[in-house]
Structure 1
Amino acid sequence: MDYHHNGFVYKQTDALKNSIGHDKKLPDNLFKYYSLSKKSVDAIINGELYASHPFDLNDVFDCSHNLWYANKPIKFENYEWFYDKVLDKEEVIKVFEQDSRQGHRKFIVEFWTLLSDKFGIISMSGQESDLLMWPHYSGEYGFQVKFSARKLEKDITEGRNAVLTPVNYVDKLEMIDVSERDSFIVPFIYSTNIKYKNWSYENEWRFLVEGKGMGIPYSKVGFETILEDHKGNDGARLIKYEVDLQEEITLGKHFFNPRRFVYNKMEDENGVKTIQVKVRECDESANLIGLLDHISFHEKLRGNVFLTGHYLVFEDVITPYIERGKEKVSLTKIGEGEYSLIYGLR
């Protein structure tokens, strides 16, 4: 039974690519924002995107099991099927009777949890230079990777049960009734796809990817469980893609700062600026070298490096203003942990 909400249609199907209907146009490019860390640098070097569990997400309402409710009694047969391998018949009856008086919350939460071990979410953005995305997701010290949306979609979804879809931004997070459904796939897909419209500045497109034993990070949830993390299969949430799909890398406004680098600035008569930088001995040294080496070793990236920042706008305005933009640079490795950056490129 399909579920319609805010112009989206959530469908009962085994193939995720057919599970969400909408009329949104896929942007030409998608962007991934990163803070600088060993995990983010390894992800770029290895061509991996992390498929998050709902507990990993920064919005506690995102993908929440609290979006599920039972308007009518859930059938006892569902309890029998779900608890078949862990409880005997008398225990199932007891759980059913107690849970029926409490809105079936135990069954709903535990069924949602079971499904959450089988799916992961990869968040991407259609926003290239949003004023909030950089400080929120890179702290201005990280970086952003640009992809062709079509090429990345093809790479991620071919050979996998996965779908790329826009987030459904809504005024209210309406709950979905699970009581009359034989399968909870539609409620789960719905809950992974809606967010408050306050988040719409992100212009988020996300991959929903199915896997086996992807893991559940129980320890990230406050006061809801005392369970230890379910580790899942090693690397199950790391989704591989071709490294050559990385089209551009933009470094944050404060990526090159004197806590990280020693640098020497030069400028020629044509206004072309060269800065030679050397990574300092610091906690971030290995990550900085790993990322910059990756960029300098790949011809496509080496010619498509940018620095973001704020830029003055004077043309055709009475009062000048500033906005976020980016400037192309050339990055060359000149020694171990040493690099040359050339600005003023056209």
Structure 2
Amino acid sequence: MYEKTLSNWKYIVSVDEDNRSLFDVIPDKKIEKPKTLYKYFPLTDNAVNGLCHNYLYASHPDQFNDLYDCFHELIDSNRSEKYFHELLSNYFSAEIIRERCSSNPKAFNVSVALWLRAIIYRFYGLVSMTESNLDVLMWSLYSDNKGFAVEFDYTVFPFQFHGPYPMNYSPHFEKIAIQNDLERGLYLLYMSTIKNEVWRYENEWRLIIDAPKEQQMFSPKIQKLKELGGHDRKFSYPLKAIESISLGNHFFEIEELNGRDKQKLEINLKENIEKKRSVLDFISANEIPSKIITRKSHELRFDLDFRDGFFHKTGNNQYKFIAFD
């Protein structure tokens, strides 16, 4: 077992009898783990396809929007040189490594740090979730208020994963030397759960998903790694993993709605029909509890609320939302 305190949190890495890495994160204050978590989605082809075919995409850090997320400079290059050389020997000849290292050692270390991160995340992928479906910023940033948020019971996911772990929001980060595989695991764990404190509002929880046995996952940036291909990072889950689906406040256009009373909403799709129809058909066919996000402006507050209910298909591009009492 390897244990280290970084940015005031404790990170623990060990290995089980099957040589599978085990991770643990202990925050400086007790944080209650939610029973379910939400993931926000924009109304795009990829997001709708993932919902309708029951899979999550386990991202590589190169696909994130935060420049410092899983930051490669968390590696202490000066104290990790031996490990770097052993790692690169799987991809380059000893002669090429010596040549590149001697010509510009500083640039070489930065390059290798990027390589190490890219290689590690061929074995792991990340899924970001959050605690609430009523966050104004999350709806605005991740779905433009036109998308949807899925509430997941992550305990029934069939694939191998670690977490969920809360994010360690900090104004600074620490460097880690990597001299063996346990320290590489520590680097992965710390790198995957440390973020700039400006992102604190997201209340993010993160899953670290293992690549399928004896496989590696697709790497999106470094050309030599891209050419190796790999698993498509799509991980299927059972329908029972979905607890509810929330639709953003602008999912429907005003002219698509006809609310005769508080309990019943009639819907006739007129814009972005194909994607909306796919989502609503999936929800109604599987009788998934749903929420329509609303505003609390009538209470003179900048908060969000929701209407609980079920969707029923009534015709071509037509639906009915029946709210709970």
TM-score bucket of the superposed structures, by smaller chain: 0.7 to 0.9
Q: 1:135 aligns with which of 120, 140, 143?
A: 140
Q: CA deviation at 1:167?
A: 0.8
CA distance in 2, matches of 1:233, 1:179: 25
Q: CA deviation at 1:71?
A: 4.1
Relative to 1, partners in 2 of residues 1:73 and 1:337: Cα closer, same or farther, differing over 3 Å? closer
User: Which range moves more in the overlay, 134-143 or 64-73?
Assistant: 64-73
Contact 2:58 2:127 in 1 (8 A): yes
Partner of 1:325: 305
Contact 1:52 1:120 in 2 (8 A): yes
Q: 1:257 and 2:253 equivalent?
A: yes
Q: 1:279 and 2:269 equivalent?
A: yes
Contact 1:119 1:208 in 2 (8 A): yes
Higher helix proportion (structure 1 or 2): 2
Contact 1:66 1:175 in 2 (8 A): no
- TM-score between the two structures when normalised by the length of structure 1: 0.81
CA distance in 2, matches of 1:65, 1:253: 38
Partner of 2:9: 8
Can you list the C-alpha shifts for 1:203-246, whole angstroms capped at 9, x where unaligned? 1111011213211222xxxxxx77794573353x1121111221
Letter aligned with residue 244 of structure 1: K
User: Size of the alignment, in residue pairs?
Assistant: 314
Contact 1:215 1:230 in 2 (8 A): no
Contact 1:16 1:161 in 2 (8 A): no
Partner of 1:244: 240
Partner of 2:318: 338
Gaps of 5+ in 2: none
Relative to 1, partners in 2 of residues 1:305 and 1:13: Cα closer, same or farther, differing over 3 Å? same
Contact 1:71 1:179 in 2 (8 A): no
Can you list the C-alpha shifts for 1:171-198, whole angstroms capped at 9, x where unaligned? 21x2313265564221122111100111
Q: 2:260 aligns with which of 250, 261, 266?
A: 266
Q: 1:290 and 2:278 equivalent?
A: yes
Contact 2:219 2:225 in 1 (8 A): no
Relative to 1, partners in 2 of residues 1:331 and 1:83: Cα closer, same or farther, differing over 3 Å? closer
Query: Residue 334 of structure 1 aligns to a residue in which SS?
Result: strand
Contact 1:276 1:341 in 2 (8 A): yes
Q: CA deviation at 1:31?
A: 0.7
User: Which range moves more in the overlay, 183-192 or 30-39?
Assistant: 183-192
Aligned pairs (5 A) from 1:1-346:
1-14=2-15, 15-22=20-27, 23-72=30-79, 74-75=81-82, 78-98=83-103, 100=105, 102=107, 104-148=109-153, 152=154, 154-156=155-157, 160-172=160-172, 174-178=173-177, 180-181=179-180, 183-211=183-211, 212-218=215-221, 229-230=226-227, 232-235=229-232, 237-258=233-254, 262-267=256-261, 272=262, 274-280=264-270, 282=271, 284-299=272-287, 301=288, 304-312=289-297, 320-343=300-323, 345-346=324-325
Query: Residue 14 of structure 2 aligns to a residue in which SS?
Result: coil
If you compute each CA radius of gyration, which structure gives the higher value, 1 or 2? 1
Query: Residue 248 of structure 1 aligns to a residue in which SS?
Result: strand
Q: CA deviation at 1:28?
A: 2.8
Gaps of 5+ in 1: 219-224, 315-319
Can you list the C-alpha shifts for 1:57-102, whole angstroms capped at 9, x where unaligned? 1211101212223244723xx3553233444333333234345455
Contact 2:59 2:126 in 1 (8 A): yes
Relative to 1, partners in 2 of residues 1:102 and 1:204: Cα closer, same or farther, differing over 3 Å? same
